Amino acid sequence: MKKNAMLKDLEITPEKIISKITKLKENKSPGIDSIVPTILKRVANDISSPLCTIFRKSLDTGQVPDSWKCANVTAIFKKGSKDHPGNYRPVSLTSHVCKLLESNV
């Protein structure tokens, strides 16, 4: 079976989206869109149907909004000398809405 066919067969419902939103950790930093999980939780019932439509379209076409492909990349210090660039690791802060789609796939 082709991967595209499998993605088109995924069942995405507003109820599943609400369930995923309620499980988001509220202390996570926002991505490039500046949306924090707390906001998503507060509006979960209002945005679940529109997100369902967007997610379905994304899976059907194999495309995602360009803004979901962007991330804020921050260097996090690991250990050793702070003067050595190799002692840092990159962390990418991506869109929580995109993460919701990914968690349904």
Q: What is the pLDDT of residues 40-73, one digit of tens each?
A: 999 999 999 999 999 999 988 889 999 898 998 9
Tokens found for residue 60: 């059907």
Give the predicted TM-score (pTM) of the model.
Answer: 0.78
User: Taking the domains of the chain in order of start, what are their residue ranges?
Assistant: 3-66+96-104
Could you tell me which residue, 5 or 61, shows the higher pLDDT? 61
Question: Is residue 96 packed enough to be buried (19+ CB in 10 Å), middle (13-18) or exposed (0-12)?
Answer: buried
The tens digit of pLDDT for each residue in 81-96 reads: 999 999 999 999 999 9
Triad 76, 100, 17: Cα angle to 5°: 150
Check residue 4 and give its pLDDT.
54
Percent pLDDT > 90 in the chain is 68
Q: How far is CA 96 from CA 2, 20, 26, 73, 76, in A?
A: 28, 11, 11, 15, 20
How far does the chain reach from its first CA to its final CA, in angstroms? 16
> What is the distance between the alpha carbons of residues 27 and 18, in angstroms, rounded to a whole number?
18
- Per the listing, tokens 């930093």 go with 29
